[in-house]
Amino acid sequence: MTETPALHALWPAPLADGAVHATVTVPGSKSVTNRALVLAAIAAEPGWVRRPLRSRDSQLMADALRALGVGIEETVSSSSAGDGAGGEAWRIIPAALHGPTTVDVGNAGTVMRFLPPVATLADGDIRFDGDRRSYERPLGQVITALRTLGARIDDDGRGALPMTVQGGGALEGGTVEIDASNSSQFVSALLLSAPRFNQGIEVRHTGATLPSMPHIRMTVDMLRMAGAQVDTPESGGEKNVWRVAPSALLGRDLVVEPDLSNAQPFLAAAMITGGTVTIPDWPEHTTQPGDMLREIFTAMGGSCELTDAGLVFTGTGRITGIDADLSEVGELTPGIAAVAALADSPSTLRGVAHLRLHETDRLAALTAEINGLGGDVTETADGLHIRPRPLHGGTFHTYDDHRMATAGAVIGLAVKGVRIENVATTAKTLPDFPKMWTDMLTGAGA
């Protein structure tokens, strides 16, 4: 695939000159958007995805489904439900999936893992390729599981991208064992397409750990809303076993929630500056792991209230270190580490060894970049130990990782002279982040 050139321009991270007071409207959830696209694409009837996230990852998913034959019409509409969910909407029109075609996964974990099971339902060869980093990210468990279920996949023995799924128009399905210790996406990938498998699926996780469980709960909830029958450990099933019965899926009219994980840097700004940030449309009940920010940042010294205006988060300007198991919310680690580096006491972040296999090795990257600004971060077997030190300016490298870029911006609020390399990588899930950040600091929308 054509590799997008690395952008080495340095973005001066704005220094806060006082308490931040702003209302920040966060775009839709990537996790919900990409799951909704997959479920709508394999449904038995058309559906709507309203307020979708338009970012690199979601565009890669939409483009891939179009390449497989799915119709996706982008429009601006009012909500038929009368719930005020107008604005941008995608109408998804399922069709017979077909190849030959090539899917560009970029470096999107959801695309590289969720779509190979979909490709087994297509007629023809579907080649998967992507950014150089995608070749290094774990995929072998999904490949092996699909072969167990009857798929034909040519990966030249790599257990990784690039590869070709030889779609046969259907997949037998059945029982499969998988070690999802490195990513909960392995389980979600198999569950999402399972209603279309001839026998459905029974997924048995065999590993010692299973990170990011909220994302599996999100997958299960969205499957059920689309009409699938799903048995889970939480619903009385066996531990670490999920079953999905074969069935036709409904075409839904889904409004995508704001991406709560992407609200993190803005809430952190309130924490650090002793200000107040409001995030509109924060859901009262959600499976998004980002909802845990309310608990985590409160433990670090902030306070929050869920109101009609949204989540209102207030900081005191004083930050307390935290000892936290982040195994269920690993994607929040970079932002938490950035805040912890500015605290008045040490922090230990545990349960996130799997972050070494994300967009970059996030544990090594955070250690290198915070220490490069004068910090004292030690990598542990499954996380980080952070001892706050006076920080100084310097270049904060992002490794083409969107959450590294926003973590650097958070530190830059309190440390003069921080420059973020390739801040444009935030477009992966948070389009136009630099403008949103500047607007927040100027109080635009407050």
Distance in angstroms (rounded) separating the CA atoms of residues 32 and 55: 13
> Which residue in the block uniquely carries the two structure tokens 């798929």?
151
Q: What is the dihedral of CA 60, 65, 66, 70, to 10 degrees?
A: -150
With beta carbons less than 8 A apart as the criterion, state whether 362 and 334 touch.
yes
Q: Quote the crossing angle between the two packed helices 185-193 and 140-148, to the nearest 10°.
A: 30
3-state helix, strand, coil in the chain (%, to 5): 35, 25, 40
* Residue 45 annotated to the active site: no
Of the residues 331, 359, 369, 421, only one is catalytic, namely 331
CB proximity list for 157: less than 8 A, separation 6 or greater: none
Distance in angstroms (rounded) separating the CA atoms of residues 107 and 228: 29
| Residue ranges of E strands in 159-282 | 163-168, 174-178, 201-205, 230-231, 241-244, 253-255, 276-279
Distance in angstroms (rounded) separating the CA atoms of residues 346 and 124: 55
Question: Which residues carry out catalysis?
Answer: 331
